Structure 1
Amino acid sequence: MSTIVEALKQTKKGQLKYDCNWKEEGRTEEIVNSVKQNLATLNLSPSTKIQLALSNKSQPSSSTINSNKNGVDNNHHHETLIDSLDHLIIDDNVDDERSNDPNFSITDIELKNYEKQKKIEVIQRLEQQQRKWNEKNESMMKKYEDQMRMIQKKYLLESMRFQKKYDEEIQQLQEELDNSIRPQSISSVSANDDINNENKKRNLKLKEIEEKHRILLKEKQNELRMQINVSKEKINNSIRMFDDCLKEFPNDDDLNHQRNIAKLLEQDIESIESNNEMIVQPVINNNNADNAQENIVKNKFQSSHNIYIEYQSKLLKFENLCQQFQDNELKKPLRTALQLYVRSIINTISNISVEHLREKVSRLLNLFGQKYFEHRGKKIHISDTDYSYHFAINTAVRIILTVASKQQNISLKLAPVIIILWANVPMFGDIFLSHLYLHCPYVIPYFPTRTMNQNEIEYTIVCGYQLDKNGQLEKEETFQSRMFSLMELYSSIIQCNMPVEEHPHNIQYGWKWLAMILNDQPYDQLTALLLDAFLSMSSHKMLSIYGRQFLKLFHFIQTNFIRKIETITSKESRQTLMKFKSLLENMDEKLSQLNNNNMNVERIAKELSPNGLVPNYFFTKSYIFMSKR
């Protein structure tokens, strides 16, 4: 113990310093007791910090220190120093009550301070590692996104070249066919002029009969056209009457419903009229019947394919403009602020209230309509010239689709925001559809076919699959979950109760999608999954608008189309099919309550509607623009 005392005598200025290793060695109490027993042999002078603590604690403490020089009791002086050291060792954050507790020793205090310091160091190291991991993760995700974009771009260019080559070959074959028919017909007539006199007479007779038949059809066509015109005039009068009534009662749902039905009848009559113009064609030229059927099949395929190519070409040009803004290093602060602003708005969309949604819409409308946003108390403007405006739209669409893919039960809250932005900013709608078709081409509906130049990974990515963080294709369950969510979002958009003339993508697109799906062959689990997502969100709107026509489609699905899906669905993948059949059974139970008079259509439609629909007044301009934020 004398060695400890000697060592303390030789310390700088005689100051007593605590070593945290004393605790680990179990010597803390031993050393402190030794110091207290040998106070008479020690001449410890306090540091500046100790003197300050002593002066703040009490005036007698400083007088005691001074009295040491005048020969006053050294024991009292050293006891005061030890007490002061006890208080200095205590961490600043320790409560006064705990520090003054006589049972709370120096050893316990130092141990707690030591542990606290270690925790702080660990937290700092964790935060540093987390930052490094986030940077690495962001870099890897950007790498895979670029890789997927390159694959999609390659597929798009190949599809465009294939389409162009296909059209050129068709045109060339048509020209060769025309050139080969003309000389042959002329030579056959000149060579067999005398031999085929009877055939000529027969042909003349056939032409005479055909002409009479054509005249008869034309008379019937004229009669039908007159009836159509009368019906159109009646419907137009009804629509005008409804419009006049709606001016006085703009929020009357029944009037809106009746007007929508009248508009649909008008469209049906126009469709009948256009089909009536085609009645004579097959009679005049029976030889073209096979070609007409072939053209129908060809146009059916090219319609969805061409829509996909058109929107992806548009997206490719748009993202090239965004890339110019991203590559500009001088715009990095603006780019970062834009991303934070848009992400903070979209990621916090929730089911809190309608006013909450209106506030989100208002802020995004300022960004895309007024082209400014507030960041850290400053108003920041974006522009078309540096393509920051394009970047803002592209960023918002990407984040919306990410949120829709990952969060459940969010589509009915995202859809009103999307459709209002779409109605006021058409560019937003075009880019949204382009990205949606890219991530889920089945909402067109378009089912990509594999080309000869594509490998398996490239083809699956075009079909909507994504790469995970390890560069591997995602699992089938993840893919199906995302396709369901995106189809659900699309169906939620078309059923929004915005006025028909203002709705940029209304329920008519849903009817067209449903008809195209039911006229095609089903695709294993995918068709059942898509129909499940679609009908669960918009069946109530389809029933409200189309009434008995929708019931016919539903009956066809339940009795005919579902059997086609069952025949191609394997035993291992029947879960999706069973979920869809459960939805159909639930719908059938509610639809069976309809009577022949259609008196309770609206009541059944209300029962079919999903939970969480935004009220109709949300879509009125007076509500959206009632205050500027």
Structure 2
Amino acid sequence: TDSELSVSILGSYSARGNHLCSQVSEVARKTAEGEFPSMEDMAVAERTLLDMRALIREMQQELVRAQERKKEQEQEEQRRKEEQVQAQQEAKRKAEQAAKEKAQRKGLQNSAEDSTMKWYKELQNSAARCAQAIQQLQSPKDAQTKKLKLELQKAATIPVSQISTNSGSQLREIFDKIDKLLSGRPVVSGGRSVSTSQHPQALEFISYKLAEKFVKQGEEEVASHHEAAFPIAVVASGIWELHPQVGDLILAHLHRSCPYAVPHYPPMKDGTPVEEYQRILGYRVNDSGVEGQDSFLKRMSGMIRLYAAVIQLRWPFGSRQGAAPHGLNHGWRWLAQMLNMEPLADITATLLFDFLEVCGHALMKQYQGQFWKLILLLTHEYFPRIEAVTSSGQMGSVIRLRKFLETSLQNRQISQPKGQLSSTFWRS
């Protein structure tokens, strides 16, 4: 403290001060006893007082210097403490980062990468804006608009429901009809001429309904008939390339119906009702309750199979050069991120099998050695994690995946998926 500092400094000057005081006190004693001080005594006293003033000045200066030294020491100490705190914080940050990286290497994440989640949210926001923009057509107030809504909806969705493997020429007709509608040209639907020029929101409405229908076909048609994925996917991919907004809406609808296609395992937030959370996870919830697990897995399977077909296909009659609008690189990203996330019982094994059965061959051809490294990682490190979270009643999907992986590694080959469209089909 300042008082302790003052005492330590005064101590060093006390001897000199006492000596000067004794000189003055001698003169003062003589005067008190009635003696008149001599000129020499007066000179000594005056010199002593001057020395005393100089001593006091020196003491004050020394005190200021000591206070400055103490302040510098305190600042230095504070600096050292701050550096120590910074070093501790940096060490903590590095430890946390190392733990995070270790967890990532072990596949302990519970969500996709930040960039993937940002992309997912942007697609959802864009779809929500589109839904808001078509509100007038979606919820018409007058009879004329209601009629137009139905005509536009049928013109968009009926061609998609007619997609099949009957013939290549029929598929081309369906594709051309959808493309014409999205390009603003009139098409005949239900015996009537329909065009997006009939309403300012018509193009966005048709894009939204078309994307919704493609996903619905995956959820229902592909879920029941796996080979249906290819004709639906090739039309969707071709439309996506010519009309990118439809592609973004397909992804948004797909992610909403099947968040595992992101891949995303939505966490349960505080206060969310159980039934609402089930709906977020992709389950159908109605008055009779939540759908059964078999029905849920079948629908998710259909949508993942459709997605796995879309990323490897392009419309064979397109004239555009360059990369596909949503190609195999997205399949590689999906697979890599799935293997970097903690598996869920039933759903993870089911979707990995479906995905690899449909586009494993295409990924193998594209990524070759890197692909096999990923398959080995899945087999030796990730598969035991899937087994660890799987109960005895859920082993069907796990057994299918194990058999697929064993066969693929033994043959060093993944077979082409059933249902691929051949050149013969396109000539029919």
For normalisation by structure 2, the TM-score amounts to: 0.70
Match among 401, 416, 420 for residue 580 of structure 1: 401
Query: Are positions 1:442 and 2:260 aligned together?
Result: yes
Deviation at 1:480, TM superposition (A): 0.6
Q: Please give the alpha-carbon distance, in whole angstroms, between the structure 1 residues aligned to 2:422 and 2:76.
A: 81
User: Residues 289 and 475 of structure 1: is their aligned pair in 2 closer, same or farther, counting only changes over 3 Å?
Assistant: same
Query: Which SS does the other structure have where 1:523 is aligned?
Result: coil
Which runs of structure 2 are paired with 1:33-48 in the superposition (5 Å)? none
Query: Match for 2:215: what amino acid?
Result: L
Identity %: 24
Q: Please give the alpha-carbon distance, in whole angstroms, between the structure 1 residues aligned to 2:112 and 2:98.
A: 11
Q: How many residues align?
A: 335
Q: Please give the alpha-carbon distance, in whole angstroms, between the structure 1 residues aligned to 2:383 and 2:217.
A: 31
Q: Partner of 1:323 in structure 2?
A: 135
Query: Which SS does the other structure have where 1:524 is aligned?
Result: coil
User: Residues 311 and 194 of structure 1: is their aligned pair in 2 closer, same or farther, counting only changes over 3 Å?
Assistant: closer
Q: Please give the alpha-carbon distance, in whole angstroms, between the structure 2 residues aligned to 1:371 and 1:189.
A: 83
Deviation at 1:315, TM superposition (A): 1.6
1:411 touches 1:488 (CA, 8 Å); kept in 2?
A: yes
Match among 513, 518, 539 for residue 339 of structure 2: 518
Q: Please give the alpha-carbon distance, in whole angstroms, between the structure 1 residues aligned to 2:76 and 2:149.
A: 84
Which runs of structure 2 are paired with 1:218-617 in the superposition (5 Å)? 289-290=94-95, 292-293=97-98, 302-328=114-140, 329=142, 330-383=144-197, 386-407=200-221, 408-409=225-226, 410-468=228-286, 470-497=287-314, 501-591=322-412, 604=413, 608-615=415-422
Deviation at 1:550, TM superposition (A): 0.5
Deviation readout 1:145-187 (Å, 9 max, x if unpaired) = xxxxxxxxxxxxxxxxxxxxxxxxxxxxxxxxxxxxxxxxxxx
1:371 touches 1:382 (CA, 8 Å); kept in 2?
A: yes
Deviation readout 1:279-312 (Å, 9 max, x if unpaired) = xxxxxx8775246558877995544443333222
2:275 touches 2:285 (CA, 8 Å); kept in 1?
A: no
Q: Please give the alpha-carbon distance, in whole angstroms, between the structure 2 residues aligned to 1:510 and 1:553.
A: 13
1:382 touches 1:389 (CA, 8 Å); kept in 2?
A: yes
Q: Please give the alpha-carbon distance, in whole angstroms, between the structure 2 residues aligned to 1:612 and 1:431.
A: 26
Structure having greater relative contact order (Cα 8 Å, sep ≥ 6): 2
User: Residues 194 and 457 of structure 1: is their aligned pair in 2 closer, same or farther, counting only changes over 3 Å?
Assistant: closer
CA RMSD of aligned residues (A): 3.2
1:368 touches 1:393 (CA, 8 Å); kept in 2?
A: yes
Deviation at 1:494, TM superposition (A): 0.9
For normalisation by structure 1, the TM-score amounts to: 0.49
1:325 touches 1:386 (CA, 8 Å); kept in 2?
A: no
Q: Please give the alpha-carbon distance, in whole angstroms, between the structure 2 residues aligned to 1:611 and 1:549.
A: 24
User: Residues 293 and 314 of structure 1: is their aligned pair in 2 closer, same or farther, counting only changes over 3 Å?
Assistant: farther
Q: Please give the alpha-carbon distance, in whole angstroms, between the structure 2 residues aligned to 1:492 and 1:379.
A: 33
Deviation at 1:446, TM superposition (A): 0.6
Q: Please give the alpha-carbon distance, in whole angstroms, between the structure 1 residues aligned to 2:93 and 2:388.
A: 35
Query: Match for 1:536: what amino acid?
Result: E
Structure 1: 5+ residue stretches without partners? 1-187, 204-284, 592-603, 624-629
Q: Please give the alpha-carbon distance, in whole angstroms, between the structure 1 residues aligned to 2:422 and 2:243.
A: 22
1:373 touches 1:381 (CA, 8 Å); kept in 2?
A: yes
2:214 touches 2:250 (CA, 8 Å); kept in 1?
A: no
User: Residues 337 and 384 of structure 1: is their aligned pair in 2 closer, same or farther, counting only changes over 3 Å?
Assistant: closer
Q: Please give the alpha-carbon distance, in whole angstroms, between the structure 1 residues aligned to 2:77 and 2:127.
A: 64
Q: Please give the alpha-carbon distance, in whole angstroms, between the structure 1 residues aligned to 2:306 and 2:182.
A: 21
Q: Please give the alpha-carbon distance, in whole angstroms, between the structure 2 residues aligned to 1:190 and 1:384.
A: 81
Deviation readout 1:183-226 (Å, 9 max, x if unpaired) = xxxxx9944567799x89xx9xxxxxxxxxxxxxxxxxxxxxxx
Structure 2: 5+ residue stretches without partners? 1-69, 84-89
2:361 touches 2:416 (CA, 8 Å); kept in 1?
A: yes
Q: Partner of 1:234 in structure 2?
A: none
